Amino acid sequence: MDPAADFNAYRTFDFAPIPAGAASAMAPSLAALGVDGVLTRAFGTVGLARSLGGQPDLLIAYFAGGTAVNSDAWGYASASAAGISVLEVPSSSLVVDVVDARLRRLVWRGVAEGALLGPQNVDPAVRQMLRSYWPARQKY
């Protein structure tokens, strides 16, 4: 987590556009598992609303564990404070990057362990991820 980020100031989010060539990090199974919907509901429970149009406060990017991810291609800089390498995460896990949309800087990275084992695993794994890692203002 980026210690300089003011998580209380963030109110809205949207999903980061997938750059060309990032298909390997976005395994086809992620869409089939309904990850967008699960993340939208989950981030709603911690006080963030999805912004459709306009400028969101945060951008959300997510990847299958064990994949090489170039955050520069996604349009943001990784902060060393994130502390988790996507390559070091098991392929059954979902890695979620939360990016300050204005600064284009990674402010938080979470890992939903076992989320990609099946559709029934996504929601509980994402809930556990937010319960374990999201900043103190969480309502989860």
1 lies in some domain: no
pLDDT digit string, tens, across residues 41-98? 999 988 899 998 889 999 999 988 887 777 777 788 876 544 556 667 888 999 999 9
101 lies in some domain: yes
Reported as a pLDDT band with limits 50, 70 and 90, residue 24 is low
pLDDT(21) > 60: yes
Query: 104 exposed, middle or buried (CB, 10 Å; 0-12, 13-18, 19+)?
Result: middle
2 lies in some domain: no
Kindly state the average pLDDT of the residues 11-37: 75
Rounded Cα–Cα distance for residues 22 and 34 (Å):
18
Number of domains in the chain: 1
4 lies in some domain: no
Query: Which pLDDT value is given to residue 82?
Result: 47
Q: Which two tokens stand for residue 109?
A: 């990275």
Rounded Cα–Cα distance for residues 81 and 67 (Å):
20
Residues forming beta bridges with residue 97, ordered by sequence position? 61, 109
- Its domain, for residue 29, covers 9-133
Q: By the 8 A CB rule, do 86 and 73 touch?
A: no
123 lies in some domain: yes
58 lies in some domain: yes
Rounded Cα–Cα distance for residues 91 and 109 (Å):
16
Query: 109 exposed, middle or buried (CB, 10 Å; 0-12, 13-18, 19+)?
Result: buried
pLDDT(28) > 70: no
Q: By the 8 A CB rule, do 116 and 92 touch?
A: yes
